[in-house]
Amino acid sequence: MEVFDKLKIWVLFICLISQMGHGFYLPGSYPHKYAIGDSLSVKVNSLTSIDTEIPYSYYSLPFCQPPEGIKDSAENLGELLMGDRIENSPYRFKMYTNETEIFLCETKPLSSHEYKLLTNRIDEIYQVNVMLDNLPAIRYTKRDTYFLRWTGYPIGIKVGSEYFMFNHLKFTVLVHKYEETNVASVMGTGDAADVIPSIGKQESDVPGYMVVGFEVTPCSVKHSPESLKNLKTYGKYPSKIVCEESTVNMAIKENEPVAFSYEVAFVESDIKWPSRWDAYLKMEGAKVHWFSILNSLMVITFLAGIVLVIFLRTVRRDLTHYEELDKEAQAQMNEELSGWKLVVADVFRAPSNPALLCVMVGDGVQILGMAVVTIMFAALGFMSPASRGTLVTGMLIFYMILGILAGYVAVRMWRTLFCGDHKGWVSVSWKVACFFPGIAFMILFTLNFLLWGSHSTGAIPFSLFVILILLWFCISVPLTFVGGYFGAKAPHIEYPVRTNQIPREIPAQKYPSWLLVLGAGTLPFGTLFIELFFIMSSIWMGRVYYVFGFLFVVLILLVVVCAEVSLVLTYMHLCVEDWKWWWKSFFASGSVALYIFLYSINYLIFDLKSLSGPVSATLYLGYSLLMVLAIMLATGTVGFLSSFWFVHYLFSSVKLD
């Protein structure tokens, strides 16, 4: 009986928590319950186009403005960096109240500037993005026997030499009856209801609904000037408005006004709150993603076989044979050494530009760590599209925090190169904190001038630049110095062999070593290029990318391939008595960035054919260059660290004087 009482207390406690929290959903936020007749506010985001990739404010065009004036919504750092500008709109709904023929406004006669601006935006295929309860509006168009799904709707369309505007919107709001969460419903037993008291019973009795879908159908309707007389905002249009997608009637002309209207219908749906984003996140091409992973696994298996041969047949055989010899035989063998054993006194000689190598490795560790943590959180659902900008915001936060790791790795590598000397660690830490962020700021600042000149919402405001610089110097830089301090205090990695004062001459090679280094990048690119298409389509074609589980697997496979490629190439260089392996191991895997950049140019030419204007192309190439630099640092770091471990392991197993 006592056990049963304790069980009741625990069930009651769980019930209280569930009633207080109303359930936690991933991805997205908490459900919002609306009673019948409650006001629903539609918001608008920036106008976007896959033709120019330059976003503009919704109210930069002659649309109807809300009676209370234009108000900006609170936006996070990620939204601002992505060019989102969320504002209120004149569209007003009442929950579960169907309305038709609602007059919105009639603009002033279009000036020559407004007419030209409208026609240009229609030519550039700009889309209007409206949102309700944080859900973007979806538009469905029929093609043959299937439907295509689009986010937003076009401003208008050009037919022949005339331009037509979509001035009447038919909204469909999908709603689901609010279900109060409790332990009884979760457990699925009727008996539990007798144990659990009714909390907030009166509130749950009030019928309420949640918004689970938002669809829009744009129409071009010619309004009668006589019918518009004496009509005020939200007034009832006197005649029936027929909304047909297949016909367009509202031709825009200079010095003539445009009238806007809308209608809204509420439809009860079986879609539940946690599933309301499924329409946006439908994973297309799942078989292609699996093919990408299988392709990567084949490359990894092939390389793993080569690595296994190197370790078991070559290295292990040589080491075992060498250790079995007596001292006299070893001394005689030392005179007849060949291959990698000949560079034993030079293999750990400090490379050229050691500070730059340490800085790039430190920044690479920081970028790789940021990518792994961000994609892992996104795969778990913590960075869903329901929370706009969280992905970019999370990347910035993780990057700043991981400055500790960057400083630690760079300074410890610096001390290792100089046999434990900790002098100069402050300078190395400072360079690590400024190298990649400095290049990123220069690229973004240059591109921002182009966006400022175009009056685009994609331009980063000056105040945001100040905030980013403060975050950089007040958080990222100090954390990098903290990591550098711990790196200076940590013991350096001891070399297993001594280095001669006079460097050994490298024999003439049959083929240039840089050719092998550049060619090595093809294998990591082979594991990545299929997934790269989906990522590029998400960034530049306005598609939602949410298969982060696949992306996380591909990232792990990419790291393994980069390590194997660099390790094999380092061994090949050592076998031909080339002891300058440091930078080559970095660029062997880092050269994948070159192929990604070439793929970006190919994508621009063949997939973004509609991209118009030098400004749009410059923006595309600028952002691609920044992405490629980050990938080069991350993949190069993986290759270098794996090669360093391999060389250290190889020569620590040999006892040579």
Least confident range of 4-18, 439-453, 513-527: 4-18
Report the pLDDT averaged over residues 330-349.
67
Least confident range of 4-8, 46-50, 297-301, 374-378: 4-8
How far is Cα 520 from Cα 111, in angstroms, rounded to an integer? 59
Supply 41's token pair: 């506010």
User: What are the φ and ψ backbone dihedral angles of 190, each rounded to 5 degrees?
Assistant: -80, -25
Tell me the pairing of strands 259-268 and 168-177: parallel
Whether the bond into 27 is cis, omega within 30 of 0: yes
How far is Cα 220 from Cα 90, in angstroms, rounded to an integer? 19
Least confident range of 245-254, 279-288, 646-655: 279-288
Supply 267's token pair: 């439809």
Task: Report the alpha-carbon angle 180-184-189, nearest 5.
Answer: 140
* pLDDT exceeds 70 at position 482: yes
211 with 66: CB under 8 angstroms?
A: no
Supply 368's token pair: 């790789």
Report the pLDDT averaged over residues 251-261.
93
115 with 252: CB under 8 angstroms?
A: yes
Percentage of residues in the chain with pLDDT exceeding 70? Answer: 84
pLDDT of residue 2: 44
The DSSP code for 247 is -
- Maximum distance among all Cα pairs of the chain, rounded to whole angstroms: 112
- Give residue 232's identity as a one-letter amino acid code: K
492 with 415: CB under 8 angstroms?
A: yes
pTM comes to 0.83
Name every residue whose Cβ is closer than 8 Å to that of residue 271 and which is 6 or more positions away in sequence.
Answer: 174, 176, 212, 213, 278
pLDDT of residue 475: 95
* pLDDT exceeds 80 at position 641: yes
Supply 331's token pair: 């001394």
What average pLDDT is seen over the chain?
Answer: 83
- Tracing tokens 């009509």 back to the chain, one arrives at 231
Question: What is the band of 289 on the pLDDT scale with cuts at 50, 70, 90?
Answer: low
Whether the bond into 66 is cis, omega within 30 of 0: no
How far is Cα 219 from Cα 250, in angstroms, rounded to an integer? 9
651 with 315: CB under 8 angstroms?
A: no
* pLDDT exceeds 70 at position 314: no
State pLDDT tens for residues 548-579.
888 898 899 899 889 988 998 998 888 888 88
State pLDDT tens for residues 98-143.
999 999 999 999 999 999 999 999 999 999 999 999 899 999 887 7
Query: Nearest-CA neighbor of 585 among 602, 563, 600?
Result: 563
State pLDDT tens for residues 591-623.
999 999 999 999 988 888 767 778 888 999 999
Report the pLDDT averaged over residues 39-64.
92
Question: What is the band of 321 on the pLDDT scale with cuts at 50, 70, 90?
Answer: low
Report the pLDDT averaged over residues 266-280.
88
pLDDT of residue 287: 67
pLDDT of residue 539: 82
pLDDT of residue 199: 39
Q: 455: buried, middle or exposed (CB in 10 Å: 19+, 13-18, 0-12)?
A: exposed
Give the torsion sign (CA, 335, 338, 342, 344).
negative
pLDDT of residue 16: 36
Report the pLDDT averaged over residues 481-501.
89
Report the pLDDT averaged over residues 444-454.
89
Report the pLDDT averaged over residues 36-47.
93
Taking CA atoms, 635 is separated from 11, 149, 427, 593, in Å, by 51, 36, 24, 8
| Helix/strand/coil (H/E/C) assignment for every residue in 116-142 | HHHHHHHHCCCEECEEECCEECEEEEE
User: What are the φ and ψ backbone dihedral angles of 388, each rounded to 5 degrees?
Assistant: -65, 140
Question: What is the band of 325 on the pLDDT scale with cuts at 50, 70, 90?
Answer: low
- Tracing tokens 């990938």 back to the chain, one arrives at 631
Supply 615's token pair: 């400004």
Report the pLDDT averaged over residues 213-218.
95
State pLDDT tens for residues 355-408.
999 999 999 999 999 999 999 998 887 887 667 788 899 999 999 999 999 999
* pLDDT exceeds 60 at position 285: no
State pLDDT tens for residues 171-189.
999 999 886 654 333 333 3
* pLDDT exceeds 80 at position 41: yes
- First-to-last alpha carbon distance for the chain, in angstroms, is 79
* pLDDT exceeds 90 at position 145: no
Question: What is the band of 529 on the pLDDT scale with cuts at 50, 70, 90?
Answer: confident
pLDDT of residue 421: 73
pLDDT of residue 320: 64
- Tracing tokens 């109210």 back to the chain, one arrives at 59
SS3 93: strand
* pLDDT exceeds 70 at position 272: yes
564 with 300: CB under 8 angstroms?
A: yes
Supply 220's token pair: 């071009």
pLDDT of residue 59: 95
* pLDDT exceeds 60 at position 337: no
Supply 68's token pair: 């209370």
User: What are the φ and ψ backbone dihedral angles of 132, each rounded to 5 degrees?
Assistant: -135, 125
pLDDT of residue 507: 81
Supply 357's token pair: 């190598």
Query: Nearest-CA neighbor of 644 among 409, 321, 481, 316?
Result: 409
